[in-house]
Structure 1
Amino acid sequence: MFSASQSRPWDVHRLPSAEGRTFLVTGGNAGIGYFVAEQLAATGAVVVLGSRDAAKADAAMASIHSRVSGAHIRHLRLDLADLSSLKTAVDRLDLGHLDAVVYNAGVALDDRPRRETGDGHELMFGTNHLGHFALTQWLAPLLSAAPAGRVVTVGSFAARSERLDLGDLQSTREYRPKRTYGRSKLAQMCFAFELDRCLRAVGSTVLSVVAHPGGALDSLTPSRPPVHVTPPGDRLRVLPAGLLVQGKDAGAWPVVRAVLDAEVQGGQLWGPRVFGLRGTPRREPVPSHMADRAVAARLWAASAELAGTDPRLGFRLR
């Protein structure tokens, strides 16, 4: 089991030791993923940064090494937009087991035109959801081999106001970037909750948990040059917003708790304490549209067909 103290409340600044554990963070070279990796590295765990850009991964690793003495960190070249490359990427991990994976990597587009992956999938849906869906198939044996494996999916507040269009998952009929992004994150979250239900049904030791960062702004995020630099003027301009939102360092807290806390259970949703936007992590109720089993089943079937994966995803599912 993951070690955690039963005698004190969760403290984001005093994390339990995870020495001997190995965690993979997709998109761990920037944003929320970088701070998740930095905080996990401080626990003594081996942290693998999944990133398609080696130069950015090298910069992130150098930054973490400068802040975490003795950090055990490595890079795995991982391109979620290229589904055919994922098995080879996982083979390169060269691990007997994986204690947790954080599905953090994502693409967010703000304007047109609609773009596609090399596989012909809409870029945000194809990367954010289908890429992680397909990756699960290749990670399943490693997660199952761990004493208590976890899949932690990084959701988004943007998914709360969206609903999936199961007849147009790839936004071919009507493309609005912000809506398509929100729906791609909703698809991730629906899949994560359904994955845990299936894992529980077959008695698996692997848990699937969802966490979201709330409102996390670059301008409230501490600098980690060259990974991220916040000009002092930008920080001053948004200080009043700090009453409602936070930086990406704090946005990582619910994700890190979902990875480490022994009391976290599968199928749970974790987010910031204050209106779900800022503060220390707490458990949240799962919105009904994210827990709709009929929608999740149809999404799962469509995703398996689009990604060309075994619908059982490598687990012994029903």
Structure 2
Amino acid sequence: MSFASPSRPWDVHRLPSAEGRTFLVTGGNAGIGYFVAEQLAATGAVVVLGSRDAAKADAAMSSIHSRVPGARLRHLQLDLASLSSVSSAVDGLGLDHLDAVVYNAGVALDAPPRRETEDGHELMFGTNHLGHFALTRQLAPLLSAAPAGRVVTVGSFAARSERLDLDDPQSTRDYRPKRTYGRSKLAQMSFGFALDRRLRAVGSTVLSVVAHPGGALDSLTPSRPPVRVTTPAERLRALPAGLVVQGKDAGAWPVVRAVLDPEVRGGQLWGPRRFGLRGMPWNEHVPSHMADPTVADRLWAISGELTGTDPHLGFR
């Protein structure tokens, strides 16, 4: 298996082989997740697309197959807004180990009203954070059985300006969709960093890494019919924005590097090099509010209680 080395800088267009490895990408049927799945598929790995919508997963796999001949793809029925779906989904993998999982799936609402999952949790916090928290417990044995398992949590640039309100984690008193979304992504990132601290404390071989896509717009993203079609007019109108942000294909680069690069270490944050918004992936400084252990420990306890999940998560 070949990997990047100090003599060969990381090349987003020439990824190392990952043949023989298996990766799960939640929300791999659209957006950033689709391009993560497409790029990982080109390495020879088996890529499992976790999606609640089988038709959308089939469309994504068809698109990937058209661009990556011989791609090895599977669909896992998974609804992160349903804790019962999360608890039963892993049985459908049929694997004895999992080399990496990418926590990408998420919900972003732009306007009220406040919505809830079937378990009664605020939809964005419940799907983006709690669903992945619960999924981690289910995947722990498979990740621990891999030679060097990884959990890659996809955060957001929006989390930089937010702070968690753990007295009201589900925005029951003051619901503002954009703020609630940013806080749900901050909760994910805080969890990702806390998970790695806990993995190191028990001597686990599994790493937890956080990545984010920067500013990634649909209008700057190449078409992938039938998944997504970007018209020439949309691309033309978006050209000025392209000086600052990028498409979702490039937004996937930090995530893919966090999965594949053997130089990546647990507890790191990977994002685009230019102002955290666009460009080649690099290892960023972790903002203190994202890695505050006191906040993270409280969030962890709340998450375990809300999901009925063993707080130790079962890693070894």
**TM-score scaled by structure 2?**
0.99
**CA–CA distance in structure 1, aligned partners of residues 240 and 112 of structure 2:** 32
Q: Deviations over 1:208-251 (max 9, x none)?
A: 00000000000000000010100110100110111100000000
Counterpart contact for 1:5–1:16, Cα < 8 Å: no
| 1:219 equivalenced with 2:219 (yes/no) | yes
Q: Give the superposition deviation at 1:2.
A: 8.1
Opposite residue 193 of structure 1, the aligned amino acid is: F
Q: Give the superposition deviation at 1:87.
A: 2.5
Match of 2:234 in 1: 234
| 1:83 equivalenced with 2:83 (yes/no) | yes
Q: Give the superposition deviation at 1:114.
A: 0.1
Structure 1 segment 190-209 matched on structure 2, within 5 A: 190-209=190-209
**CA–CA distance in structure 2, aligned partners of residues 216 and 2 of structure 1:** 29
Q: Give the superposition deviation at 1:69.
A: 1.0
Change (3 A) 1:228 1:286: same
Match of 1:186 in 2: 186
**CA–CA distance in structure 1, aligned partners of residues 2 and 33 of structure 2:** 20
The percent of aligned pairs where both chains have the same amino acid is 85
Match of 1:264 in 2: 264
**CA–CA distance in structure 1, aligned partners of residues 224 and 209 of structure 2:** 28
Match of 1:46 in 2: 46
Q: Secondary structure at the match of 1:120?
A: coil
Match of 2:147 in 1: 147
Match of 2:286 in 1: 286
Q: Give the superposition deviation at 1:14.
A: 0.3
**CA–CA distance in structure 1, aligned partners of residues 298 and 77 of structure 2:** 31
**CA–CA distance in structure 2, aligned partners of residues 3 and 227 of structure 1:** 31
Structure 1 segment 233-252 matched on structure 2, within 5 A: 233-252=233-252
Q: Give the superposition deviation at 1:298.
A: 0.2
Structure 1 segment 47-86 matched on structure 2, within 5 A: 47-86=47-86
Q: Secondary structure at the match of 1:279?
A: strand
Opposite residue 214 of structure 2, the aligned amino acid is: G
Counterpart contact for 1:2–1:148, Cα < 8 Å: no
Change (3 A) 1:177 1:2: farther
| 1:10 equivalenced with 2:10 (yes/no) | yes
Q: Give the superposition deviation at 1:7.
A: 2.2
Q: Deviations over 1:243-282 (max 9, x none)?
A: 1000000000000000000000000000001100000100
Change (3 A) 1:118 1:83: same
Q: Secondary structure at the match of 2:219?
A: helix
Aligned residue pairs total 316
Match of 1:312 in 2: 312
Opposite residue 179 of structure 2, the aligned amino acid is: R
Q: Secondary structure at the match of 1:213?
A: coil
**CA–CA distance in structure 2, aligned partners of residues 303 and 35 of structure 1:** 29
- Segments of 5+ residues of structure 2 without an aligned counterpart are none
Change (3 A) 1:187 1:2: farther
Counterpart contact for 1:25–1:50, Cα < 8 Å: yes
Opposite residue 308 of structure 2, the aligned amino acid is: G
| 1:31 equivalenced with 2:31 (yes/no) | yes
Q: Deviations over 1:178-232 (max 9, x none)?
A: 0000000000000000000010111100000000000000000000001010011
Opposite residue 276 of structure 1, the aligned amino acid is: G
Q: Deviations over 1:138-190 (max 9, x none)?
A: 00000000000000000000000000001000000000000000000000000
| 1:275 equivalenced with 2:275 (yes/no) | yes
Q: Secondary structure at the match of 1:135?
A: helix
Q: Secondary structure at the match of 1:23?
A: strand
**CA–CA distance in structure 2, aligned partners of residues 122 and 4 of structure 1:** 41
Opposite residue 286 of structure 1, the aligned amino acid is: V
Structure 1 segment 91-130 matched on structure 2, within 5 A: 91-130=91-130
Cα RMSD after superposing both structures: 0.9
Q: Secondary structure at the match of 1:49?
A: strand
Match of 1:175 in 2: 175
**TM-score scaled by structure 1?**
0.98
**CA–CA distance in structure 2, aligned partners of residues 283 and 2 of structure 1:** 21
Opposite residue 285 of structure 1, the aligned amino acid is: H
Q: Secondary structure at the match of 1:9?
A: coil
**CA–CA distance in structure 2, aligned partners of residues 290 and 5 of structure 1:** 29
Opposite residue 12 of structure 2, the aligned amino acid is: V
Change (3 A) 1:171 1:217: same
Counterpart contact for 1:220–1:248, Cα < 8 Å: yes
Q: Which runs of 4+ in 1 moved over 3 A?
A: 1-6
Counterpart contact for 1:51–1:77, Cα < 8 Å: yes
Opposite residue 209 of structure 1, the aligned amino acid is: V
Q: Give the superposition deviation at 1:79.
A: 0.3
